[in-house]
């Protein structure tokens, strides 16, 4: 039949298999370290580019050249919450205002004229409204009717 191998050949074959296995593990270890190094490098590059983009969008340096805006003194109507206490104070305030208007001599003499005069002094001029309707070149818009 076949030639049987001796023990020394078996041990050298086992040794060579073991050496091959060690070489394979060494290759795997080397590739893992190189891949982790590449991963770290790409991570740093991404972080660097992200920082550059953030710097490009950072406009805080321009704020020193812009004029300062004053904060509004009173809250806008959207911020005003009408709870029970504020409603009560509003009713008292408006009641006092109505009482003073009704007792005013100009209102007692001619209520419609007093209201008209008040609206004239508080409303914006009608000239401003017509200016807004003008087009860019200064001509009034033509109406669709002929």
pLDDT digits (tens, 9 = 90+) for 116-127: 999 999 988 766
Q: Tell me: the pLDDT tens digits for 63-117?
A: 777 777 776 666 566 666 789 988 999 999 999 999 999 999 999 999 999 999 9
71, 94, 111 from 117: Cα distances, Å:
32, 20, 10
Q: At which residue do the structure tokens 């009560």 appear?
A: 88
Q: Where are the domains of the chain?
A: 10-56, 84-124
Q: Residue 133's pLDDT is what?
A: 57
Q: Tell me: the pLDDT tens digits for 17-55?
A: 999 999 999 999 999 999 999 999 999 999 999 888 887
């Amino acid at each position: 039949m076949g030639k049987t191998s001796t023990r020394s050949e078996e041990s050298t074959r086992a040794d060579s298999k073991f050496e091959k296995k060690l070489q394979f593990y060494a290759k795997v270890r080397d590739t893992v370290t190189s891949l982790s190094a590449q991963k770290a490098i790409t991570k740093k590059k991404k972080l660097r580019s992200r920082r550059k983009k953030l710097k490009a969008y950072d406009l805080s340096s321009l704020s020193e050249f812009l004029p300062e805006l004053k904060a509004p003194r009173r809250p806008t109507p959207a911020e005003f919450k009408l709870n029970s206490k504020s409603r009560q104070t509003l009713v008292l305030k408006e009641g006092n205002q109505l009482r003073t208007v009704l007792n005013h001599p100009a209102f007692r003499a001619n209520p419609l004229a007093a209201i008209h005069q008040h609206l004239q002094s508080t409303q914006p001029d009608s000239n401003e409204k017509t200016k807004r309707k003008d087009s860019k070149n200064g001509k009034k818009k033509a109406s669709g009717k002929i």
